């Protein structure tokens, strides 16, 4: 299982994301945003950070990086594609996920653990969780409020495309308390919390490891290596 983790100028979570991927038993490769190819990766992850300094809008410029042609082709062909935080913003700007992320309702940058509920286990990144499981993951964002127009939001809800919801407290005012969504095809997932920051007992929690372990259970991939 080969996972490409894209590095944009300003990304800062790619190394940690690659480490979480490898801890789950897959092979991670950090791919530069100017590369034309994903190198035959099975899975693509857009990591957290501040690609292009969030200039204009978070993810607005990164979505036009050269590597994104390959990312879009991979996603449209059904390839598992994950966007974490800034990566989620890039996927929305690229039109690979519905809706958009806006400034947090309280206007503050929030950096703390939050509880989220796994709403759907029917994605390559959540199949290893139990539906309805409450997990704790850290958020670290100033623009994490999920919005969409009424028709889009209704379609997301009706289509079962909500993957994670904030549980108990909605920290940023996201509509429907959405912390993560998928596309209709369910192969593209974006979430604002950082699973890679809670994938090892060394960093305060392991609830996020499931996102990466779920990948290893995809049909067609030999599940090898120690868990």
Separation of alpha carbons 82 and 95, rounded Å: 14
> Which residue lies nearer to other proteins by CB, 134 or 154?
154
Separation of alpha carbons 207 and 130, rounded Å: 12
Residue 217 catalytic?
no
Residue 198 catalytic?
no
Residue 85 catalytic?
yes
161 binds other proteins (CB under 8 A): no
142 binds other proteins (CB under 8 A): no
176 binds other proteins (CB under 8 A): no
Q: Which position among 30, 103, 136, 155 is part of the footprint of other proteins (CB under 8 A)? A: 103
Of 92, 194, 198, 213, the active-site residue reads 194
> Which residue lies nearer to other proteins by CB, 27 or 149?
149
Q: Which position among 11, 104, 120, 183 is part of the footprint of other proteins (CB under 8 A)? A: 104
* Residues facing 135 on adjacent strands: 116
Q: Which position among 9, 159, 173, 205 is part of the footprint of other proteins (CB under 8 A)? A: 173
134 binds other proteins (CB under 8 A): no
Range in contact with other proteins (rule: CB under 8 A) among 22-30, 103-111, 117-125, 211-219: 103-111
Residues with catalytic function: 85, 194, 196
Residues near other proteins, by CB under 8 A: 56-57, 60-61, 64, 92-93, 99-100, 102-107, 145, 147-149, 152, 173
């Amino acid at each position: 299982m080969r996972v490409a983790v894209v590095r944009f100028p300003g990304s800062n979570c790619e190394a940690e994301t690659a480490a979480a991927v490898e801890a789950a038993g897959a092979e991670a490769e950090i791919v530069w945003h100017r590369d034309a190819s994903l190198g035959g990766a099975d899975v693509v992850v857009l990591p957290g950070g501040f690609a292009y300094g969030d200039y204009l809008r978070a993810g607005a410029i990164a979505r036009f990086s050269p590597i994104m042609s390959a990312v879009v082709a991979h996603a449209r062909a059904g390839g598992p594609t994950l966007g974490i935080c800034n990566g989620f913003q890039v996927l929305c700007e690229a039109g690979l996920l519905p809706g958009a992320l806006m400034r947090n309702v309280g206007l503050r940058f929030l950096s703390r653990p939050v509880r989220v509920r796994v709403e759907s286990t029917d994605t390559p990144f959540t199949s290893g969780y139990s539906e309805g499981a409450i997990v704790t993951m850290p958020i670290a964002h100033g623009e994490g409020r999920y919005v969409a127009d009424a028709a889009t939001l209704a379609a997301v809800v009706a289509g079962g495309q909500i993957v994670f919801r904030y549980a108990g407290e909605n920290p940023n005012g996201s509509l429907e308390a959405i912390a993560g969504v998928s596309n209709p095809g369910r192969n593209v997932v974006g979430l604002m919390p950082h699973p890679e920051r809670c994938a090892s007992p060394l960093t305060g929690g392991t609830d996020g490891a499931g996102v990466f372990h779920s990948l290893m259970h995809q049909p067609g991939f030999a599940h090898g290596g120690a868990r």
